[in-house]
C-alpha cells in the first residue's frame, strides 16, 4: 500500500537543514505537504529524495520548487525522478505573454469570418435548392409519393391561420397610407390623388411585400423550428433509415403550400388595405365609397395586379426554402434551433427585399410601370 508523502528535517553539522522526503510523492498522496513545505522556516541546504517510493509530475514540481527557492541541490534522485524534475524545471524558461490584438485586426477578423460564413451559406443554399428541384422531379415521376395531406395541413397553417393578423396589418397600413398621403397632398390641393396612392402602392408593392415579411416571421420561423427540432431528436435520420427522403416529406409540402398561398394572401392583403384607405377617405375626405371604388378602378392599371401576383409565389418559395434550409442546418444542441430560426427569418426577409428591388427594376424596364 502506498505511503503518504512526508519529509523530515535534519540539522547539518556545517549549518543549514537537510530535507529527507519519504513515501509516495504523487498527487493522490501529497495531502498537506505543500503547506508544510511553505512553513519551513530554516535554511535548506540539501534535499534528499532517495527514500521516496514513487514520484509524479506534481511531486517533482514541489521538490524542484523547494530546491529552486532555497538554492539547494537535490540528492538521491533516480532516473525517473531526474526526468520529471528536468521536465518541470523547463517551465521556468517559458515566457507567457498575453496576446492582445489591436481593435482593427479584431474587426477585420470578424468581417472575414462573416464573409466566409456568408459565402459558405450561399453555396449550401444553392445546393439545397438543387436537392429540392431534384425531389420535385422525383415526385412528378412518382405521383403516388405526393403527400397531399401534409400540403393541405400547411395550407391551414400558412394561409388560413394568418388571415387575421395579415388582415389587421393591411387594414392599418391602408389607413396610414391614406392619412399620410392626404396630409402631404393637401399642401398642393391634390387630395383626390390619395386614391391613386392607395391603389397603386397596395396592389403593386406593399400588399405583397408586407405579407411576405409577415409570412417570413410567422411561417418561415415555424418551418425552421419544426425541422430543427426534428433534427435534434434524430427524426430526420430515422426517416432516412426507413427510406423516406426528408426533402420530399418535410421541405416540398411546405414550399408548395407557401407558393400557392402567397398570391392569395397578397391579394387579400391588398384588398383589405384598399378597404382601410377607402374608409379613411370616406370619413376624413368626405369621399363616398362608390366614388372611391370608381376612382380605384380608373387609376389602378391591371399591370399592378400582375406585378403583385408574379412576385408573390417567388417570395413564398424563398421564404419556405430559407426556413427549411436553416432547419436542416441545425445540429448539436437545442440552442441551435433558436439560432437557426432567427437566421431563417433574417435571411428570408433580406432575400425578399432584394428580390423586390430586382422586380421593381425589371418591371420598369419592360414597361409595366
Taking only the tens place, the pLDDT of each residue in 93-109 is 545 455 566 788 888 98
- Higher pLDDT, residue 92 or 154: 154
Give residue 96's pLDDT: 46
Give residue 92's pLDDT: 64
CB-CB contact of 18 with 12 (8 Å): yes
Average pLDDT of 83-97? 69
Q: Which of 138, 184, 159, 360 is nearest to 257 (CA)?
A: 159
CB-CB contact of 222 with 157 (8 Å): yes
Give the integer Cα–Cα distance in Å for 123 and 140: 26
- Higher pLDDT, residue 322 or 21: 322
Domain locations in the chain as residue ranges: 6-93, 128-365
- Burial-class residue 276 by CB neighbours within 10 Å (0-12, 13-18, 19+): buried
Lowest average pLDDT, out of 85-89, 110-114, 245-249, 295-299, goes to 85-89
Q: Quote helix, strand, coil % in the chain, to nearest 5.
A: 75, 10, 20
75: left (phi over 0), alpha (psi -120 to 50) or beta: beta
Average pLDDT of 80-88? 84
Give residue 42's pLDDT: 72
Give residue 66's pLDDT: 84
Give residue 124's pLDDT: 94
CA 328-332-334 angle, to 5 degrees, is 85
- Higher pLDDT, residue 129 or 189: 129
Give residue 52's pLDDT: 86
Q: Which of 243, 208, 216 is nearest to 318 (CA)?
A: 216
Query: Whole-number mean pLDDT of the chain?
Result: 89
Q: What is the dihedral of CA 276, 282, 287, 290, to 10 degrees?
A: 70
According to DSSP, the β-strands at 74-75 and 6-11 are unpaired
Q: Which of 245, 269, 81, 66 is nearest to 163 (CA)?
A: 269
Give residue 41's pLDDT: 66
CATH topology of domain 6-93: Transcription Regulator spoIIAA (3.30.750)
Q: Which of 330, 127, 354 is nearest to 221 (CA)?
A: 330
- Tell me the backbone φ, ψ of residue 11, rounded to 5 degrees: -80, 125
Give the integer Cα–Cα distance in Å for 247 and 151: 13
Q: Which of 166, 154, 153 is nearest to 208 (CA)?
A: 166
Sheet holding 6-11, edge to edge: 6-11, 17-25, 44-55, 74-75
Highest mean pLDDT, choosing among 54-58, 157-161, 333-337? 157-161
Give residue 94's pLDDT: 47
Average pLDDT of 313-320? 96
Residue 369 has pLDDT above 80, yes or no: no
Residue 334 has pLDDT above 60, yes or no: yes
Give residue 352's pLDDT: 96
Give residue 98's pLDDT: 53
* Number of other residues whose CB lies within 10 A of the CB of residue 76: 14
Average pLDDT of 175-195? 89
pLDDT tens, position by position, 202-241: 999 999 999 999 999 999 999 999 999 999 999 999 999 9
Highest mean pLDDT, choosing among 17-21, 30-34, 179-183, 323-327? 323-327
Amino acid at each position: 500500500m502506498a505511503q503518504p508523502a512526508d519529509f523530515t528535517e535534519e540539522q547539518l553539522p556545517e549549518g543549514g537543514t537537510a530535507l529527507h522526503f519519504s513515501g509516495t510523492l504523487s498527487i493522490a498522496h501529497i495531502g498537506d505537504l505543500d503547506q508544510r513545505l511553505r512553513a519551513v522556516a530554516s535554511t535548506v541546504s540539501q534535499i534528499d529524495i532517495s527514500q521516496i517510493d514513487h514520484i509524479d509530475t506534481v511531486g517533482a514540481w514541489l521538490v524542484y520548487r523547494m530546491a529552486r527557492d532555497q538554492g539547494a541541490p537535490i540528492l538521491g534522485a533516480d532516473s525517473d525522478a531526474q526526468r520529471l524534475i528536468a521536465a518541470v524545471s523547463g517551465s521556468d524558461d517559458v515566457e507567457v505573454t498575453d496576446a492582445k490584438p489591436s481593435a482593427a485586426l479584431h474587426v477585420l477578423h470578424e468581417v472575414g469570418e462573416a464573409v466566409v460564413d456568408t459565402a459558405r451559406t450561399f453555396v449550401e443554399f444553392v445546393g439545397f435548392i438543387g436537392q429540392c428541384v431534384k425531389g420535385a422531379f422525383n415526385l412528378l415521376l412518382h405521383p403516388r409519393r405526393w403527400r397531399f395531406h401534409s400540403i393541405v395541413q400547411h395550407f391551414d397553417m400558412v394561409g388560413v391561420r394568418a388571415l387575421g393578423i395579415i388582415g389587421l396589418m393591411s387594414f392599418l397600413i391602408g389607413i396610414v397610407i391614406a392619412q399620410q398621403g392626404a396630409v402631404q397632398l393637401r399642401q398642393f390641393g391634390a387630395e383626390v390623388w390619395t386614391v391613386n396612392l392607395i391603389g397603386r402602392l397596395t396592389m403593386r408593392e406593399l400588399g405583397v411585400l408586407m405579407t411576405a415579411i409577415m409570412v417570413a416571421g410567422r411561417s418561415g420561423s415555424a418551418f425552421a423550428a419544426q425541422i430543427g427540432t426534428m433534427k435534434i431528436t434524430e427524426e430526420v435520420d430515422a426517416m432516412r433509415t426507413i427510406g423516406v427522403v426528408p426533402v420530399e416529406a418535410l421541405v416540398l409540402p411546405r414550399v408548395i403550400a407557401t407558393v400557392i398561398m402567397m398570391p392569395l394572401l397578397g391579394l387579400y392583403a391588398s384588398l383589405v388595405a384598399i378597404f382601410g384607405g377607402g374608409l379613411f377617405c370616406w370619413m376624413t375626405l368626405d369621399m363616398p365609397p362608390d366614388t372611391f371604388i370608381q376612382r380605384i378602378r380608373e387609376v389602378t392599371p391591371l399591370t399592378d395586379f400582375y406585378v403583385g401576383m408574379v412576385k408573390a409565389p417567388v417570395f413564398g418559395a424563398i421564404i419556405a426554402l430559407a426556413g427549411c434550409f436553416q432547419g436542416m442546418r441545425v445540429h448539436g444542441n437545442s440552442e441551435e434551433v433558436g439560432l437557426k430560426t432567427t437566421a431563417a427569418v433574417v435571411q428570408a426577409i433580406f432575400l425578399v427585399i432584394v428580390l423586390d428591388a430586382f422586380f421593381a427594376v425589371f418591371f420598369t424596364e419592360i414597361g409595366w410601370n
